[in-house]
């Protein structure tokens, strides 16, 4: 008997342009159920833009995007989140003054049907719903080992733990696809190891498909089933980590000779990780990580990213956060997603 399984995500011939810049240029890929699919490439290659298309923040000019067979183009971000696609952000997007548990509860808003008024009329059901939401949050707290910080305001937590809370907020939505945008950017080696373990736990215990954008090559090569390499918005190669690492075009565009690993043994890649760009500095977020990458890897990567539309990109991320029902740590809400 032949079992045909449909991909969870299908991205076909997608092009996304901003006045003059083609951020995503004819990109196609699919993600299978339970798969960990990585997207890599230099700064400005279009990785976050792909996430913004997948989550409905940007509408591509051409191509099709399907989730479990359903067309996502033109679907609003909150609808896509409710359908089962959750994401984390390149720069942390949490309510800094709320506790860990409160932030995780916000991830449940898709599952909350009873507001304050209906709670009066439906005391029993509203209460049952509240209990179910709390139980779901507690499962996330257990899985990500967040118990020690549960009642602390997120803004006071170490950077690595904040990134973990963000993962938790996405998981609280009970997604079937999880989009992780640079989950270890700016982390030290120990935090990176922790995050790698949690990502694997999430995948094994929850069975969600994961799409991960990451500059830390050790992490990508250890965790990913398949990797898509982008350069200037264009796909250069899709393959297993071993295939991608050996591809001369990939080495030229992104990895650089210094990063070429002839035979990756799949284990104990702490050394690779340290060298692969996790050295993002002080954890101040994307900028520090960006400098670390430019210095550590393909020097041209930094130049390419330049300052092109840096403000716009930040705005895009904030818009995405707003669409997901959150504010940035700085307190600004951004609702006006494209
Ligand atoms: N809202 C926007 N307006 C204009 N240009 C944009 C916008 N969003 C992204 N871009 C441009 O699209 C290109 C791809 O950006 P994107 O953020 O997707 O790159 P990336 O691969 O995630 O890079 P990084 O590794 O630095 O995070 C860049 O040239 C960027 O300046
Ligand atoms: Mg990005």
Q: What does the DSSP 8-state code read for residue 153?
A: B
What does pTM read for this prediction?
A: 0.78
pLDDT at 109: 78
Residue-by-residue DSSP string for 44-71: TSSHHHHHHHHTTSS--SEEEEEETTEE
Do the beta carbons of residue 110 and residue 181 sit within 8 Å? no
Do the beta carbons of residue 155 and residue 329 sit within 8 Å? yes
Ligand 1 centroid – CA 172 distance (Å): 28
Q: Does domain 9-323 have CATH number 3.40.50.720?
A: no
CA 49 to ligand 1: nearest atom: 18
Alpha helices in the chain (DSSP H): 47-54, 77-83, 100-106, 116-121, 123-143, 159-172, 189-206, 217-223, 241-246, 248-250, 270-275, 286-296, 299-305, 310-323
Q: What does the DSSP 8-state code read for residue 327?
A: B
Taking ligand 2, which is a single-atom ion, which protein residues have CB atoms under 5 Å away? 47-48, 90
pLDDT at 236: 95
- Which residue positions in the chain have pLDDT lower than 50? 257-258, 260-338
CA 46 to ligand 1: nearest atom: 18
pLDDT (tens digit per residue) in 15-45: 999 988 999 999 999 999 999 999 999 999 9
pLDDT at 327: 36
Label the pairing between strands 226-231 and 234-239. antiparallel
The C-alpha atoms of residue 50 and residue 37 are separated, in whole angstroms, by: 13
Question: What residue ranges line ligand 1, CB within 6 angstroms?
Answer: 18, 21, 23, 41, 43-49, 90, 290, 305, 308-309, 312-313, 316
Looking at ligand 1, which residue's alpha carbon is closest to its atom 30?
A: 44
Ligand 1 centroid – CA 308 distance (Å): 8
Paired tokens of 136: 């779901």
The C-alpha atoms of residue 197 and residue 219 are separated, in whole angstroms, by: 10
Paired tokens of 225: 């089933």
Q: If you compute the radius of gyration of the chain from its CA atoms, what whole number of angstroms results?
A: 19
Ligand 1 centroid – CA 207 distance (Å): 30
pLDDT at 6: 86
The C-alpha atoms of residue 40 and residue 50 are separated, in whole angstroms, by: 11
């Amino acid at each position: 008997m032949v079992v045909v399984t449909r991909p969870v995500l299908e991205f076909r011939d997608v092009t996304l342009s901003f006045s003059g810049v083609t951020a995503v240029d004819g990109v196609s890929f699919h993600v299978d159920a339970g798969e960990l699919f990585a997207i890599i490439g230099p700064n400005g290659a279009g990785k976050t833009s792909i996430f913004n298309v997948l989550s409905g923040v940007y509408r591509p000019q051409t191509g099709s995007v399907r989730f479990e067979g359903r067309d996502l183009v033109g679907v609003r971000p909150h609808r896509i989140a409710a359908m089962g696609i959750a994401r984390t952000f390149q720069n942390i997007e949490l309510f800094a003054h709320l506790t860990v548990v409160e932030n995780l509860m916000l991830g449940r808003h898709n599952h909350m049907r009873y507001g304050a008024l209906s709670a009066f009329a439906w005391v029993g059901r509203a209460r049952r719903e509240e209990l179910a939401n709390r139980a779901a949050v507690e499962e996330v707290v257990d899985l990500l080992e967040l118990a020690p910080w549960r009642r602390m305001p997120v803004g006071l937590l170490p950077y690595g733990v904040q990134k973990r809370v963000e993962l938790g907020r996405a998981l609280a939505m009970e997604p079937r696809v999880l989009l992780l945008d640079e989950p270890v950017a700016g982390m030290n080696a120990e935090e990176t190891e922790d995050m790698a373990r949690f990502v694997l736990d999430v995948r094994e215990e929850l069975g969600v498909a994961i799409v991960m954008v990451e500059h830390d090559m050790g992490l990508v090569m250890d965790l990913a089933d398949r990797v898509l390499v982008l350069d200037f918005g264009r796909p250069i190669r899709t393959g297993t980590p071993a295939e991608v690492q050996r591809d001369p075009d990939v080495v030229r565009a992104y990895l650089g000779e210094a990063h070429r690993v002839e035979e990756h043994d799949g284990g104990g890649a702490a050394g690779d990780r340290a060298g692969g760009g996790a050295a993002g500095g002080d954890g101040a977020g994307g900028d520090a990580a960006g400098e670390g990458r430019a210095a550590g890897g393909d020097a041209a990567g930094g130049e390419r990213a330049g300052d092109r539309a840096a403000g716009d990109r930040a705005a895009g991320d904030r818009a995405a956060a707003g669409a997901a029902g959150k504010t940035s740590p700085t307190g600004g809400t951004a609702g006006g997603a494209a």
